[in-house]
Structure 1
Amino acid sequence: MQVAEQHDVAPEVVRELAGFLERRREQIAQRWADAPLFSTVFTVSRDEAVEACKAVVDALAEVARAGRLEDIDAPGFRAVKDQLGRMAASRARAGFGPAQIAAEVAGLREPAAALLSAEFESADEHAHACALALAVLIGTLRLVVMETTLSAGEELIARQRQQLLEVATPVIRLWEGVVAVPLIGTLDSARSQVVMESLLEAIVEQRARYAILDITGVPTVDSLVAQHLMKTVAAARLMGAECIVSGIRPAIAQTIVHLGIDLGSIITRAGLADALAHALTQQGIVVSPRPDAGANAR
C-alpha cells in the first residue's frame, strides 16, 4: 500500500476537530445517513443508518483526541471495522468496485466540512487548518474501509475455496457399511486433508467397514500423492475401516513401480465396481448377475 503524504497538524487544531465531532455528532450522522454508503446498506429504517453513522463519528472523534489522524491502526477504528467491512461488502455485492466505494467514503467529508465551516466567522488560516485536519481524517477512514474490504475479500475467497474443495470431494454411500470417495483432479496437500476429514466423518456417521478411494480421475500419481493416500488409508484403519484403492490405470501403475512406492499393505482393485464387489464379498454378500431374459424365454 502506498504511503500517504504526512501532514503536520497542530495539537490545538486536532483537539478542536475532536470537539467539533463530539458537538456535531447528531447533525453529521443525520447528513451521512442519506449518503449512499449508509442509505443503501441500512434499508430497514433510517434510524438504523443514523445509529451506524454515529458510531463512525464517535470513532473519528476518538482517533482525533488521540492525535492519530493518519494512523489506520488507531484504537478508535477498532469498534467500527466490522461495521465498515459489512457496509463495503454490501456495496461490493451490489456491483461497486473498490474505487467507487472509496469515492463514497471520501464523499462523507463534504457534509461534515460544511458544518465545520459554519463554526468559523471567517475563512482564516485556523479555519483552513481545521478543514485540512478533517480531510486527513476522512482520508484515513477511506484507507481503513479499503483495508477492511480487502481483508474481508480474502476471507471470503478462502471460505469459497474450502467449500469448493468439499464439494469436489463427495463421500458416497454405496452399500450398507461401504462408502466411496471418487477423486477427480490433482490431489494436493489441502485437498488431501479435506479428503481425509470427509472420509473419517463418513466412516463414523455410516458406521462403514469399508472405504473405497477411487483415483480413476486423478491424472498423475507421484510420491506426494501416494503419501497422502497412505496416510488416509492409515487414518481409516484407526477408525476401524478397511481402505480399498481403485482406478489404478496401467500408466499410473508403471509410475508407482518406477518411483519405488510400496503399496503392498493397501488393497487395490482395477475399478470401482471391482472394489465394491470385494467389499461386499468380505461381508458375505453375494451379488449374482441378472439372468438373460432371452434365455428364460426359450
Structure 2
Amino acid sequence: MATDSNTKLLVETLTAQRDTFLGQWTRNVGEALQGRLSVAELGRELGELYEAVLQGLAAGGLSGRGDAFGEVRSLLIELSRNRARQGFTPTETARSVLALKEVLEPTLTDDHEGARVYLQFARLLDDLSLLTTEAYVRTREEIISSQAEQLLELSTPVVKLWDGVVGVPLVGTLDSARTQVVMEKLLQTLVDSNSTHAIIDITGVPTVDTQVAQHLLKTVVAARMMGAQCTISGIRPQIAQTIVALGIEFGDIPTNASLSEALRQALNEVARDGADDVRGLL
C-alpha cells in the first residue's frame, strides 16, 4: 500500500505540474547542451519521454521493471543513439535524464512523504541514466567499427594502371583483415576491368616479415586463380636483405625494385599476349 500511495502521489504531481516541470527540464538540458540542439527538437524528445515515464509509473509503479517501462527504455535508447551520432558526450547524454531530478527536488522534498517519494524516483532515474550510457557506448562502438572499415577500404585501393593491368599500392602494415579486403577488391577489379595482370606494390610497407610475406602470397595465389599474372614491386634493398635473411621464398612470383619497371614488364606481356592472340586467329 505504501508503494501504491507513493506512486499515486508522484503521478498526480507530475501530471498537475506537467508544463512547469517539462519546461524547466527542457531549459536545464538545453543549457547543459549549450544550444547545440534546437529547443523544438529537445522539447519533443523530452515531452515524449515525460509522457512515457508517466504511463510507466501508472502501470508499473516505481520499480521501473517489466513491460510498463518498455516505451521509456526504447525512447532512451533512441535518444542515446542520436546523441552519440551528434557528437555529444556520455555525460551530456545521461544528463538528459538526470536533470529531471533537479527539477523535481524543490517540489517533492517539502515534507517527509514527498522526500521518500523523491528518493525512490531518483533511484529509478539513476537506473535509466545508466541505460543511456550503455546505449551510447554501443552506438559509439558501432560508429568506430564502421569508420575503421571505411578507412581500411580507403587504405587498400585497387587502381587500373592500363588496359589489362591493375595495381595495388600498399601503405602501412599488412595484417589478416587488410589482406582479406585487398584480395576481395583485387579479385573484383580483375573481373570488372577484364584485366590479366596485377601489380602489388609494397613501396609503402615499412617492413616485410614472414607473416607479411604469407599475406602477400595469399593475395597472389587468389589473383592467379582468377587467371591474372602477378608481380610484386617496391622491393627496396633493406626489404630484399630482410627477405633473404628470413629465408622467405616467393617462388616463381616476379619481383621488381620499382613500380615503373613492373608496369613496363606488364605492358610488354600484355602486348605479347595480344600478339599471340592475333596469331592464333590467323
The SS at the match of 1:221 is: coil
Matched residue count: 264
Aligned to 2:82: 86
The SS at the match of 1:263 is: coil
> Contact 1:246/1:271 (CA < 8 Å) preserved in 2?
yes
Change (3 A) 1:261 1:221: same
Shift of 1:233: 1.3
Percent identity between the two aligned chains: 38
Shift of 1:56: 2.0
Shift of 1:81: 0.3
Change (3 A) 1:235 1:139: same
| Structural mapping, 1:123-134, within 5 Å | 123-134=110-121
Q: Distance in 1 between matches of 2:152 and 2:87?
A: 28
Q: Deviations over 1:84-123 (max 9, x none)?
A: 221354252xxxx444544454222233456x63xxxx94
Q: Deviations over 1:21-80 (max 9, x none)?
A: 88469535454444316894653x72x444322332355456652754499xx7441343
Q: Distance in 1 between matches of 2:244 and 2:8?
A: 78
> Contact 2:25/2:99 (CA < 8 Å) preserved in 1?
no
The SS at the match of 1:276 is: helix
Q: Deviations over 1:234-290 (max 9, x none)?
A: 22223332221111223323333343333114232222112111211111169xxxx
Q: Is the helix fraction higher in 1 or 2?
A: 2
Q: Distance in 2 between matches of 1:16 and 1:260?
A: 80
Aligned to 2:99: 107
The answer for unaligned runs of 5 or more in structure 2 is 274-282
Shift of 1:138: 2.1
Counterpart AA for 1:236? A
Aligned to 1:201: 188
The SS at the match of 1:169 is: coil
RMSD (Å), alpha carbons: 3.4
Change (3 A) 1:217 1:88: closer
> Contact 2:158/2:185 (CA < 8 Å) preserved in 1?
yes
Pair 1:175-2:162 in alignment: yes
The SS at the match of 1:257 is: helix
TM-score between both structures, scaled by the size of structure 2:
0.77
Which residue among 47, 56, 61 is the counterpart of 2:49?
56
Shift of 1:216: 1.6
Shift of 1:217: 1.7
Change (3 A) 1:21 1:269: farther
Counterpart AA for 2:47? K
The answer for unaligned runs of 5 or more in structure 1 is 1-9, 287-298
Q: Distance in 1 between matches of 2:210 and 2:152?
A: 21
Change (3 A) 1:205 1:40: farther
Pair 1:230-2:220 in alignment: no
Aligned to 1:12: 4
Q: Deviations over 1:172-191 (max 9, x none)?
A: 22111211111122112222
Aligned to 2:276: none
Aligned to 1:242: 229
> Which portions of structure 1, spanning 4 or more consecutive aligned residues, are displaced by more than 6 angstroms?
none
Which residue among 140, 149, 156 is the counterpart of 2:143?
156
Which residue among 242, 246, 251 is the counterpart of 1:255?
242
Shift of 1:170: 1.9
The SS at the match of 2:249 is: coil
> Contact 1:222/1:255 (CA < 8 Å) preserved in 2?
yes
Change (3 A) 1:88 1:223: closer
